[in-house]
Amino acid sequence: MSCHTYASTFPDSPIALGGPGKTDAELFADVTRLHIESPSEILRLFAADRSADVLLRVNLDIPISGASLAMGGGATPFGMDPEGIAECIEMLSDQDAIRLRGIHAHLAVLTTEVEYADTALMFL
């Protein structure tokens, strides 16, 4: 469902937008929060001259066994390595339009191991 369709269907609901490969239309949409996948998305937001609340999506370097798809490690279309996060934080300092609200860490798909959440907290 597109942001426009969602906003039309649920006009009073906040919208958080994440995921790789955001188009300019998606990145510049009137949403409550954006999940940023790369430093280049921050640069595109600056170019749009708009304000936004953002989460930075980090790929933590945590070994995940038994998952059908693990997200951790380096920079991918689905998030940044720690160096990318540091670069974004540096870009966000000394300005007020794009506000860092937190970190988004997606570890894996289809794992039932609860201890991974505890491990992730140690990295954050």
pLDDT in tens, 71-111: 555 556 567 888 898 999 999 998 999 999 998 876 654 44
H-helix segments, 1-124 = 3-9, 24-27, 39-48, 82-92, 115-123
- Spell out the residues 6+ positions from residue 78 whose beta carbon is closer than 8 angstroms to its own: 20, 37, 57, 59, 71, 106
**According to the model, what pLDDT value does residue 42 have?**
92
Q: Domains of the chain by range and CATH?
A: 3-123 (3.20.20.10)
Residue 16 CA neighbour count, 13 Å, CB half: 11
pLDDT at 114 over 90: no
- Spell out the residues 6+ positions from residue 1 whose beta carbon is closer than 8 angstroms to its own: 9
d(CA 97, CA 90) in angstroms, rounded, equals 14
Under the banding of pLDDT at 50, 70 and 90, the label for residue 118 is: low
| Both structure tokens of 16 | 């958080």
**According to the model, what pLDDT value does residue 68 have?**
43
Which of 113 and 49 is assigned the larger pLDDT? 49
Asked whether 28 and 48 are in contact (CB, 8 A), the reply is yes
Q: Which long-range contacts (CB under 8 A, 24 or more apart) does 113-121 make?
A: 113/64, 113/65, 113/66, 116/62, 116/64, 119/62, 120/60, 120/62
| Both structure tokens of 36 | 């940023």
